[in-house]
Structure 1
Amino acid sequence: MHKAKVAVLISGRGSNMAALLYAAKHPACPYEVVLVASNNPQAPGLALAAAEGVPIFAHSHKGLNRADFDALIDGELRKAGAEYVALAGYMRLLSPEFVAGWEGRMLNVHPSLLPQYKGLDTHQRAIDAGDGHGGCSIHIVTADLDDGPVLGQTQVAILPGDTAESLAARTLFAEHQLYPRVLADFVTRERSPDWLLDQVRRRALALPQSDEGMSHGMSSFGIEKGKKFAYFTQDHHGDGIIALLVKTSAPEEQAMLIDSDPDLYYRPAYLGPAGWVGIRLDLGEVDWDLVENRLQRSWRTVAPKKLTALLDAADQF
């Protein structure tokens, strides 16, 4: 079983880090914690991570500008082989360069039901507003503070007489339950057939006058009321493969692609003799630029000239 490599950034006790670390000990967990790093060398969570055999790194941010410190942390993350980053009580604003370097691969836990109460003092603000519930959110980190897409939330009831401290303590239980589950879902989503189909769908339907249907038991994409230019196949006839099938210009191109990378490309049953080629989507990281390019090429083989002219015109800009 492939396990995604996750680095966790902390600044203090690291209780959410501990929740992620102990969840990772289960054999079925799809991620492993490869590094716990901190901007605070005295952070109590570092001792816990070290005791559990997880590599640690700590360096004070004092005396360094934000970009230089983040570059230092970034170097350690990449040295550890991290594929994803989980912020767990990391009390540092991140530089735009750092966020951009981990775009779409960095999560954060926030103690409110986003988009409500971004920033600090979330529990007191919820109490002062007379809310019936506080809660926590896991979101993708973007350049804007606490503003990335929300992946999961848990509501926590606000009880009569609650203080910010009592609500925070109860919300922490919810965070510990939510974060490992959302992280596990997130690191496996790129192997999920539904997620992969959605990525193909967005690119295929962006082409002029394309539509989606079902054909040969597969999701298919074609020119409206015209020929098909792509199929999404998932375990078709029990082959266990998730792939995109696209047309090539000739059998020679099909053979060339398969010879160039036989792990990525293959000759699909039924459609293969007609010059179609399969592109595996279940091998790990997908080159979506390549997928988009092959979709466009395949679309051109079936599109009327007036439609290809539209695409050519768009390419001029």
Structure 2
Amino acid sequence: MAKARLAIMISGVGTNMAALLYASRDPDCPYEVVLVASNNPDAQGLKLAEAEGVATFSHAHKGLSREEHDTTMHAALTEAKADYVALAGYMRILSDEFVSKWAERMVNIHPSLLPKYKGLDTHQRAIDAGDSHGGCSVHLVTPELDDGPVLDQTPVAILPDDDVHSLTERVKIAEYQLYARTLSDYIARENDPDWIQQKVDGIALSLPSTHARESHGAPGWRVGSEKSGKFFAYLSVNHHGEDRVALLVKCSGPDEMMTLIDQEPEIYHKPAYYGASGWIGYRLDRQGVDWDHVRQWLERSWRSVAPKSLTKLMDAAEEF
């Protein structure tokens, strides 16, 4: 299975970047670091990345609007063909547009037990509050500062004689372990058949008059009544000797099937048994799945078997 391509954004020394980079050298790690980018051309972390053979990019933000600088950084990430972005001491507030482009694909590590102590001076605030523990959190990045869903946390005990420096040093040790582990788990979920099924299920059941039903050991989705409904999608999980997890949907016929397979053989295939009946396989256990495209395929397949009364209602709803 191809590894996810990770870009890391830093502003300084890059110790969390280094932790992610060295974790990626494990053969079982689901990601590889393809770029280290910075808003600070003098960031020390860039030198380490270069020494380790990782491509780097830097562009100073001085004199640029937030949006202009973010556009430049986004272009560098895109050119590197990054699947995910990890913020590792990137000391810039990102524009909403930039964050939206990387929704659910950009993570950050924050030195507190979120939702406590968003922003700066987290350790001093925890000490002043008399907390028993500080710690760190890995979260998805959203437009609101340090407010995205928390993926995992590590509490770190605050000792009676702790000051900011001593607590910071212990939390850093926790950060280096937490970030690599959590990021690996988050990326690896895309190959988990249960996670894939939940994603497909959420999209399929959002279509009108649909319900789930297993067929020949495979998850399936039907439109219409429980008694007379018709299948419009299946999820093939290593079925019939195929080493893949794929969505099976209706296509227009053999010509379209062969054209798609010829154009993108890593994505499309003719599924065993179902292929002869006009179904095409769309592989889902891979990096970079376009879930909007999956939605389009499910809706199209749904339309191919749904009663006209339902498709007319859906067309009317889409006009408003």
Count of residue correspondences:
313
- Where does residue 116 of structure 2 map in the other structure? 116
- Where does residue 74 of structure 1 map in the other structure? 74
- Where does residue 317 of structure 2 map in the other structure? 314
- Where does residue 255 of structure 2 map in the other structure? 256
Q: CA deviation at 1:179?
A: 0.9
Corresponding letter in the other structure for 2:297 = R
- In 1, the alpha carbon distance for the partners of 2:115 and 2:108 equals 14
Change beyond 3 A, Cα 1:91–1:165: same
Give matches, 1:187-198, under 5 Å: 187-198=187-198
Q: Which runs of 4+ in 1 moved over 4 A?
A: none
Bigger shift: residues 102-111 or 181-190: 181-190
The answer to whether structure 1 residue 282 and structure 2 residue 285 are counterparts is: yes
- Where does residue 15 of structure 1 map in the other structure? 15
- In 2, the alpha carbon distance for the partners of 1:312 and 1:21 equals 49
Contact 1:6/1:34 (8 A) holds in 2: yes
Give matches, 1:177-256, under 5 Å: 177-223=177-223, 224-225=225-226, 226-248=229-251, 253-256=252-255
- In 2, the alpha carbon distance for the partners of 1:295 and 1:137 equals 36
The share of aligned pairs that are identical, in percent, is 58
- In 2, the alpha carbon distance for the partners of 1:22 and 1:70 equals 27
Secondary structure of residue in 1 paired with 2:32: strand
- The two structures, once aligned, show a CA RMSD in angstroms of 2.3
Q: What is the CA deviation profile of residues 157-192 of structure 1, one whole-angstrom value per residue up to 9, with x for unaligned ones?
A: 222332232222111111100111222233333333
Secondary structure of residue in 1 paired with 2:299: helix
- Where does residue 93 of structure 2 map in the other structure? 93
Bigger shift: residues 76-85 or 203-212: 76-85
Contact 1:257/1:265 (8 A) holds in 2: no
Bigger shift: residues 105-114 or 25-34: 25-34
Q: CA deviation at 1:283?
A: 4.8
Change beyond 3 A, Cα 1:64–1:307: closer
The TM-score, its normalising length taken from structure 2, stands at 0.88
Aligned match of 2:273 in 263, 270, 273? 270
Q: What is the CA deviation profile of residues 48-78 of structure 1, one whole-angstrom value per residue up to 9, with x for unaligned ones?
A: 2222222333343223322222233333333
Bigger shift: residues 90-99 or 12-21: 90-99
- In 1, the alpha carbon distance for the partners of 2:159 and 2:77 equals 41
Contact 1:34/1:54 (8 A) holds in 2: yes
- In 2, the alpha carbon distance for the partners of 1:73 and 1:266 equals 36
- In 2, the alpha carbon distance for the partners of 1:267 and 1:52 equals 42
The answer to whether structure 1 residue 107 and structure 2 residue 110 are counterparts is: no
Q: CA deviation at 1:114?
A: 1.7
Secondary structure of residue in 2 paired with 1:228: strand
Give matches, 1:44-55, under 5 Å: 44-55=44-55
Corresponding letter in the other structure for 1:191 = N
Contact 1:254/1:277 (8 A) holds in 2: no
Q: CA deviation at 1:205?
A: 0.4
- In 1, the alpha carbon distance for the partners of 2:40 and 2:281 equals 50
Corresponding letter in the other structure for 1:102 = W
Secondary structure of residue in 2 paired with 1:135: strand
Contact 1:190/1:285 (8 A) holds in 2: no
Contact 1:71/1:98 (8 A) holds in 2: yes
Corresponding letter in the other structure for 1:146 = D
Secondary structure of residue in 1 paired with 2:213: strand
Listed as ranges, the gaps of 5+ residues in structure 1 are none
- In 2, the alpha carbon distance for the partners of 1:208 and 1:245 equals 19
- In 2, the alpha carbon distance for the partners of 1:316 and 1:216 equals 38
- In 2, the alpha carbon distance for the partners of 1:34 and 1:301 equals 42
Q: CA deviation at 1:294?
A: 2.7
- Where does residue 298 of structure 2 map in the other structure? 295
